[in-house]
């Protein structure tokens, strides 16, 4: 994971080499620095959420969004999650960070609902977060304190969070569903897919990973995987959202095979709350915002 974070920092080509891309022997030091910086960033309120729209294909309506965290760094600007989420997961900092994300995204769902924009809010939950015994009570408390409507909250978990498919895990998922929340399996197809859990666990949506969407419809293997996922999901009574849809040809291919929703640059990029809201009102020809944050 640390390697991934460093690699991507190098890839991003910003002027942050001394900080994020060390010599081999400096790695431990750099990691520690990043961890400390991240811890402070959470305390100082430097984390922000951007929101990316999701479109229901049947109605062509924006019916939801995904909350995606960024680090608004005082010097480095907007740092993408790939540069800090893996380390946050390794160091355990994902717990306070994930808590903050949950609270902020739930608060935003409630604000938008009050402002006449009842949007579904998809929130990414790291495996470690989900594996905490206190996860369900914490979430219950956050829902209560923010006034978010659980029927509009969807938790995105990855296959990794389901690997230890214990009775306790199943109970946790059932408890979440009983609270009215829904569950989506993120990055579907990229993990150690054990399809048996799909029939055992209360998961309502699959998110086909962007890597399978990227080369649609030309790439025959990706086309086969996307089509098979859609067909299987239909037979299992699950809904599917495709991520990373960038062009109409990809959308049309997915639509023709019964995909329920899409998310990607074709519809819109992730944006800060105010920009997202303005964009949405414009899309729907709604009047200007009715309530301040």
Is the Cβ–Cβ distance between 278 and 268 less than 8 Å?
Answer: no
Judged by beta carbon distances under 5 to 8 A according to partner kind, the member of Mg ion, ligand C2E, none in contact with residue 189 is none
**Among residues 154 and 277, whose Cβ is nearest to ligand C2E?**
154
Query: What is the spatial distance between Cα 161 and Cα 125, in angstroms, rounded to a whole number?
Result: 9
What is the smallest separation between the CB atom of 288 and ligand C2E, expressed in angstroms?
Answer: 27
Query: What is the spatial distance between Cα 29 and Cα 35, in angstroms, rounded to a whole number?
Result: 10
Query: What is the spatial distance between Cα 65 and Cα 129, in angstroms, rounded to a whole number?
Result: 21
**Among residues 156 and 222, whose Cβ is nearest to Mg ion?**
156
> Which residues does 126 contact at the CB level (< 8 Å), separation at least 6?
85, 88, 89, 94, 98, 161
Other Cβ atoms less than 10 A from the Cβ of 148: the count is 26
By 3-state DSSP, what share of the chain in percent is helix, strand and coil, each rounded to 5?
Answer: 50, 20, 30
Alpha helices by DSSP H, listed for the chain, are 2-12, 17-20, 27-43, 85-91, 94-114, 127-131, 135-146, 167-178, 196-200, 210-213, 220-236, 248-256, 273-284
Query: What is the spatial distance between Cα 7 and Cα 27, in angstroms, rounded to a whole number?
Result: 12
**Of these, 53, 64, 150, 264, which contacts ligand C2E (CB under 6 A)?**
264
Applying CB under 6 A, the span of 2-10, 21-29, 231-239, 241-249 interacting with ligand C2E comes to 241-249
Judged by beta carbon distances under 5 to 8 A according to partner kind, the member of Mg ion, ligand C2E, none in contact with residue 169 is none
Q: Is the peptide bond before 125 cis (omega within 30 degrees of 0)?
A: no
**Of these, 83, 104, 187, 277, which contacts Mg ion (CB under 5 A)?**
187
Judged by beta carbon distances under 5 to 8 A according to partner kind, the member of ligand C2E, Mg ion, none in contact with residue 244 is ligand C2E
Judged by beta carbon distances under 5 to 8 A according to partner kind, the member of ligand C2E, Mg ion, none in contact with residue 107 is none
Judged by beta carbon distances under 5 to 8 A according to partner kind, the member of Mg ion, ligand C2E, none in contact with residue 271 is none
**Among residues 266 and 286, whose Cβ is nearest to ligand C2E?**
266
**Among residues 41 and 241, whose Cβ is nearest to Mg ion?**
241
**Of these, 83, 154, 159, 243, which contacts ligand C2E (CB under 6 A)?**
243
120-139 residues in contact with Mg ion (CB under 5 A) are 124
What is the smallest separation between the CB atom of 158 and ligand C2E, expressed in angstroms?
Answer: 7
Q: Which residues bind ligand C2E (CB under 6 A)?
A: 52, 68-69, 80-82, 85, 98, 101, 124, 126, 156, 186-187, 210, 243-246, 263-265, 270
Q: Which residues bind Mg ion (CB under 5 A)?
A: 124, 156, 186-187, 243
């Amino acid at each position: 994971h640390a390697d991934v974070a460093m690699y991507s920092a190098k890839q991003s080509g910003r002027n942050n080499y001394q900080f994020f891309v060390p010599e081999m022997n400096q790695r431990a030091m750099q990691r520690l620095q990043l961890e400390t910086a991240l811890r402070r960033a959470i305390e100082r309120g430097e984390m922000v959420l951007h929101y990316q729209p999701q479109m229901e294909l049947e109605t062509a309506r924006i019916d939801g969004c995904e909350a995606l965290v960024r680090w608004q760094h005082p010097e480095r600007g907007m740092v993408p999650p790939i540069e800090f989420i893996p380390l946050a997961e390794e160091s355990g900092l994902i717990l306070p960070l994930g808590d903050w994300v949950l609270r902020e995204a739930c608060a935003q769902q409630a604000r938008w609902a009050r402002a006449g924009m009842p949007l579904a809010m998809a929130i990414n939950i790291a495996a470690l977060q989900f594996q905490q015994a206190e996860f369900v009570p914490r979430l219950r408390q956050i829902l209560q304190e923010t006034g978010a409507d659980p029927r509009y909250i969807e938790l995105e978990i990855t296959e990794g969070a389901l690997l230890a498919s214990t009775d306790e895990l199943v109970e946790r998922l059932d408890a979440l569903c009983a609270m009215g929340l829904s569950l989506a399996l993120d990055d579907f197809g990229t993990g150690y897919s054990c399809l048996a859990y799909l029939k055992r666990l209360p998961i309502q949506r699959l998110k086909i990973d962007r890597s399978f969407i990227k080369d649609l419809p030309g790439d025959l293997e990706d086309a086969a995987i996307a089509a098979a996922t859609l067909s299987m999901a239909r037979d299992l009574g699950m809904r599917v959202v495709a991520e990373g849809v960038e062009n109409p040809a990809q959308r049309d291919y997915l639509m023709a095979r019964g995909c329920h929703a899409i998310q990607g640059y074709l519809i819109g990029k992730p944006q800060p709350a105010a920009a997202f809201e303005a964009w949405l009102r414009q899309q729907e020809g709604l009047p200007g915002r009715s309530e301040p944050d």
